[in-house]
Structure 1
């Protein structure tokens, strides 16, 4: 088993290295723009799109970049084209091919071309050109660097390492996790439960949407290329970056609290509701506001964090279908439409925490393949936690 993780490091380059990095990002932007123009030219004339081998041969030695960097950018562009084509075949008419011309673009450096020189990582620029020297942090994770991507003041390292298969204990004690928006996660082992609050993170996302709307309203009254529009673009970028940092930090803390619960209660398996298809085919079934709230949630990122954090303790994370887990009564099995945060069964009168009902039903469904009423009820003891203090965070950091 292998674990691949992308780590982000903020780098500060000296003037000479900064000049080489800017030139490399500019050359990568020129290459991406050329690819966009070629693709647009072929589509308008209904010509066959060139293969990656043809594009690599065509752009060989045309840009001041390493040959593998050019190949990586072409492969990334081809993967983007294939992804958009697949979405369109599935009926997503809003999927758009790459159309924007890039002045700067992040160059990609493959692992076999990277070299280490003491505390520095050398990013090659091709034959006859000095590499970019980037100082690496001291606490670099163990593993093999398979790719590096150079951004504006940031370095994205993709590191892979081999992991031993998780050791499952003889008891094979399991837990259930129900993820949501108001409560990021409700995890239970059938006897105790832990609820991680998500209202603070949701308010941060709502604040970002409102701030972006105000900036967009001001931006619509400016001229393209004006200094005021550039300032508004920078403000919009800073806002998005800050919110991304806040949400990433909150999700890391939430994942750590869930992992701590699993370790404390000696769990070996954690079943989680599969939310991969949450936003598919819901345009006519949910309100516009609900679609916006659900679309801003990052269940995939939380599940990714949980996956590699649990593997360190030998705990398996198994996604299962969460169909009807929040509607089925854990006592009698009757289906109820839930309103509010308290689950109330119309058949037997059972009352419990709404997310707790989903967690125990996911647990029984994961253990037996189906929901078995009457086997596990929502625990009376539920511990409530906040991931991090988020009150005023967006205003304090982005104001």
Structure 2
């Protein structure tokens, strides 16, 4: 089985290589801006949009870039245009065509133009121009490099590799997964349950928003082009990138823990709520705090990580509509809208964990097509884990044993899946942090 993965590396370039990279990114920005202008010109006059081959022939040897970089950027722009057109035809009139002029844009290098020279990767810039030499890390993952994208101090490498076909499990056990904010994921098979805390990741997002607000306030008092504004721009970028790295690491660990739970209990089919099926036009107005939380969520990235990690072990991920799964009582089927973390049914008095109710109802709905009352109940024992140990979040006193802090963190090597501890330690006792 063939698997394609994108790896992100932070690269440190010499002044000479940095100038080459900046020139390539500037030329790519000029090409993208030119494409935006042409598309806007044609749309305003209701002229037919040029085909991909016509654009490639028109822009051939017009920019100081490798020919395949020009072709890759044109292909990306045309794919974006086709995607927006399809969304508008399906009724999404808020979908917007590319409109922003780019001063810099990430050039895309195709695999056949890339060359390896020892520990370096050579990124071509066209005939008569020296390539960009990027030092690759020693722990380079195996596989064939099919594409590389050069960003601001980062390199995105797309690698394709062959992995053995997963061996199907004998049992056909199913599980349900409820993705949320307080808990990144609550997964259950009807008998056992695992809750992965999302409070740490939420505090990272909140800390980034506060830091960015302070920097924007300072930046508003500076003059355009001043050195102080440039320093503040660099500080904003560093702040955003640091939070991005922490969030990506936490989501990877959360996905690994969900996969480990499925393997431990023999789950071969995992149902997850499809958040893309929600009707945003019929929702009530939300508060500023709720809007900030919803805007910082990364459910799509977690689902993407889960999909390819589960596929390696032959576990299928199925998305189903999750409407009213957190409000329906799994015992009697009565709808009760709750505000706290504990679900209390007004009809039968059933009490359980709110996210656990959503997980068992997703499992029930996925297996039977509808929620059958009394089929699955929330397990009495729920294991609480943190996705990753955030060092600045732990305010451990010198007298506190180190084993306790490691057990609460819920790392992949700490504790067993069947272990259960006090929910207050990882559910309600997670400290407010700021890693920025």
Pair in the same fold by TM > 0.5: yes
Alpha-carbon distance between aligned partners in 1 of 2:354 and 2:105, rounded to the nearest angstrom = 46
Question: 1:1-399 alignment to 2 at 5 Å?
Answer: 2-87=2-87, 95-163=95-163, 165-278=165-278, 280-281=280-281, 284-390=284-390, 392=392, 397-398=435-436
Alpha-carbon shift at residue 347 of structure 1 (Å): 1.4
Q: Is the 8 A contact 2:200 2:433 kept in 1?
A: no
Alpha-carbon distance between aligned partners in 1 of 2:70 and 2:188, rounded to the nearest angstrom = 49
Bigger drift between 257-266 and 351-360 goes to: 257-266
Alpha-carbon distance between aligned partners in 2 of 1:89 and 1:171, rounded to the nearest angstrom = 43
Q: Is the 8 A contact 1:121 1:133 kept in 2?
A: yes
SS at match of 2:247: helix
Q: Is the 8 A contact 1:279 1:295 kept in 2?
A: no
Alpha-carbon shift at residue 91 of structure 1 (Å): 6.1
Q: Is the 8 A contact 1:109 1:148 kept in 2?
A: yes
Which residues of structure 1 form unaligned runs of 5+? none
Report the aligned-residue RMSD. 2.5
Alpha-carbon shift at residue 63 of structure 1 (Å): 1.4
Alpha-carbon distance between aligned partners in 2 of 1:71 and 1:296, rounded to the nearest angstrom = 34
Q: Is the 8 A contact 2:272 2:362 kept in 1?
A: yes
1:87-135 Cα distance to aligned partner (Å, 9 max, x none): 5556666554434333322110112222333433222222333332323
Alpha-carbon distance between aligned partners in 1 of 2:289 and 2:91, rounded to the nearest angstrom = 23
Bigger drift between 354-363 and 104-113 goes to: 104-113
Alpha-carbon distance between aligned partners in 1 of 2:264 and 2:120, rounded to the nearest angstrom = 40
Q: Is the 8 A contact 1:42 1:49 kept in 2?
A: yes
Q: Is the 8 A contact 1:201 1:390 kept in 2?
A: no
2:412 maps to which residue? none
Bigger drift between 355-364 and 23-32 goes to: 23-32
TM-score computed with the length of structure 1 as normaliser: 0.90
Bigger drift between 214-223 and 326-335 goes to: 214-223
Alpha-carbon distance between aligned partners in 2 of 1:316 and 1:88, rounded to the nearest angstrom = 31
Q: Is the 8 A contact 1:147 1:159 kept in 2?
A: yes
1:124-151 Cα distance to aligned partner (Å, 9 max, x none): 2223333323232232223332211011
Alpha-carbon shift at residue 304 of structure 1 (Å): 1.2
1:167-221 Cα distance to aligned partner (Å, 9 max, x none): 3323211211111001111111111111111112112212222222233333333
Alpha-carbon distance between aligned partners in 2 of 1:199 and 1:397, rounded to the nearest angstrom = 13
Alpha-carbon distance between aligned partners in 2 of 1:185 and 1:358, rounded to the nearest angstrom = 10
2:422 maps to which residue? none
Q: Is the 8 A contact 2:203 2:434 kept in 1?
A: no
Alpha-carbon distance between aligned partners in 2 of 1:349 and 1:306, rounded to the nearest angstrom = 35
Alpha-carbon shift at residue 60 of structure 1 (Å): 0.4
Alpha-carbon distance between aligned partners in 2 of 1:122 and 1:358, rounded to the nearest angstrom = 50
Alpha-carbon distance between aligned partners in 1 of 2:120 and 2:221, rounded to the nearest angstrom = 46
> Cα 1:222–1:87, aligned 2, differ >3 Å: closer, same or farther?
farther
> Cα 1:389–1:242, aligned 2, differ >3 Å: closer, same or farther?
same
> Cα 1:94–1:182, aligned 2, differ >3 Å: closer, same or farther?
same
> Cα 1:282–1:255, aligned 2, differ >3 Å: closer, same or farther?
farther
Alpha-carbon shift at residue 364 of structure 1 (Å): 1.8
Q: Is the 8 A contact 1:166 1:316 kept in 2?
A: no
SS at match of 2:149: strand
Alpha-carbon shift at residue 345 of structure 1 (Å): 1.1
Alpha-carbon shift at residue 70 of structure 1 (Å): 0.3
Which residues of structure 2 form unaligned runs of 5+? 394-431
